[in-house]
């Protein structure tokens, strides 16, 4: 009974537009655990025992909250389902990693490091050189870049299909980025096999995210970006953060134009709402100073 309720719940959430990937794995895991105990309905103690099997406080809380949402859904039709209380494992705080903002010189070194990858007489160095450069020049999510197919390369820019929020968008490119991509595509067509994806590995198949992350860390360490003991190595996703911060730094100062600029950056990045972009505003001292100066000026204007 629980297993069927879980499948109905997952289907309903996905019909509603949610990807529901990790959550689906969790509620299915809970259902197997509960069924093995003989539960036909959600039982609070079973949920807590299942969630407690996770090794960290944060993941235990994620498990708990996921099943709480499922239990509320089930209880709307059958009051025999119990809704576990929140905060059973104590209050946890999810701390968002501090973004690493690359300098232009560091990005140039990163791209040069990618060209030094082995084997030299293969497509591989050029693939990562162009992929890292594209992420730095456009702020694309890694998954968006890896899903690119040849038909997505249009004269107007990159067609990004079915993004994180199930929306498609057109990403215009700077002429230098277009030229680099066109040169790579010619080489890719000759050496990369028949797969329709733009970026492929040595096996001729679409690159996987885990592979790209590993190569990025390898290159970043090789060029000296390793932050050292106790410090975090820059992440590949920080190229997106860097693009966003630099785009916001170039914002005009006129109040009416700031809003338009912020909306343009939001649309280009593929955010679902403008508020998602405000996290980047504290990315550099330059932006923080501009915010502080604007607030001080506004305070002096008020009576």
Chain-centre distance of CA 145, in angstroms? 12
- Which residues is 92 bridged to in the sheet? none
Angle, helices 285-301 vs 238-249, to 10°: value is 40
Give the Å distances, CA to CA, from 2 to 20, 31, 43: 18, 6, 11
> Are the C-beta atoms of residues 60 and 54 closer than 8 Å to each other?
yes
CA–CA–CA angle 288, 92, 236 (5° rounding): 50
Total residue count of the chain as it appears in this document = 303
Q: How far is CA 150 from CA 10, 155, 209, in A?
A: 33, 12, 19
Rg value, the chain, Cα: 24
Q: In angstroms, what CA-CA distances link 195 with 111, 207, 221?
A: 25, 11, 31
Token pair for 84: 């576990």
Q: Kindly state the tokens that stand for 75.
A: 């209880």
Helix (H) / strand (E) containing 159: strand 157-160
Cβ distance 138 to 243 under 8 Å? yes
Report the catalytic residues. Answer: 141, 164, 237, 240, 271, 280
CA 139/CA 145 separation, integer angstroms = 10
Question: Residue 39's closest CA among 82, 99, 102, 100?
Answer: 82
What is the CA angle 261-98-26, rounded to 5? 100
């Amino acid at each position: 009974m629980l297993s069927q309720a879980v499948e109905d719940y997952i289907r309903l959430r996905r019909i509603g537009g949610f990807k529901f990937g990790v959550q689906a794995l969790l509620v299915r895991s809970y259902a197997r655990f509960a069924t093995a105990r003989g539960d036909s309905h959600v039982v609070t103690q079973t949920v807590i025992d299942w969630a407690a099997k996770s090794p960290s406080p944060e993941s235990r809380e994620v498990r708990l909250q996921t099943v709480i949402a499922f239990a509320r859904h089930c209880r709307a039709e059958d009051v025999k389902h119990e809704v576990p209380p929140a905060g059973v494992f104590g209050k946890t705080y999810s701390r968002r990693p501090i973004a690493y903002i690359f300098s232009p010189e560091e990005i140039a070194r990163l791209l040069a490091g990618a060209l030094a990858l082995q084997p030299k007489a293969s497509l591989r160095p050029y693939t990562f050189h162009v992929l890292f450069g594209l992420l730095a020049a456009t702020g694309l999510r890694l998954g968006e870049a890896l899903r690119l197919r040849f038909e997505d390369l249009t004269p107007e820019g990159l067609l990004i299909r079915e993004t994180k929020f199930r929306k498609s968008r057109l990403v215009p490119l700077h002429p230098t980025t277009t030229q680099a991509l066109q040169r790579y595509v010619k080489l890719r067509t000759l050496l990369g096999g028949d797969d329709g994806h733009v970026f492929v590995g040595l096996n001729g198949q679409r690159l996987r995210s885990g592979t790209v992350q590993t190569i990025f860390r390898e290159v970043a360490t090789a060029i000296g970006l390793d932050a050292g003991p106790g410090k975090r190595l820059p992440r590949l996703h920080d190229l997106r953060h860097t693009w966003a911060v630099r785009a916001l730094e170039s914002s005009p100062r006129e109040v009416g134009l700031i809003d338009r600029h912020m909306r343009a950056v939001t649309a280009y990045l593929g955010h679902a709402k403008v508020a998602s972009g405000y996290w980047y505003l504290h990315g550099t001292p330059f932006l923080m100073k501009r915010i502080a100066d604007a607030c001080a000026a506004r305070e002096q204007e008020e009576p």
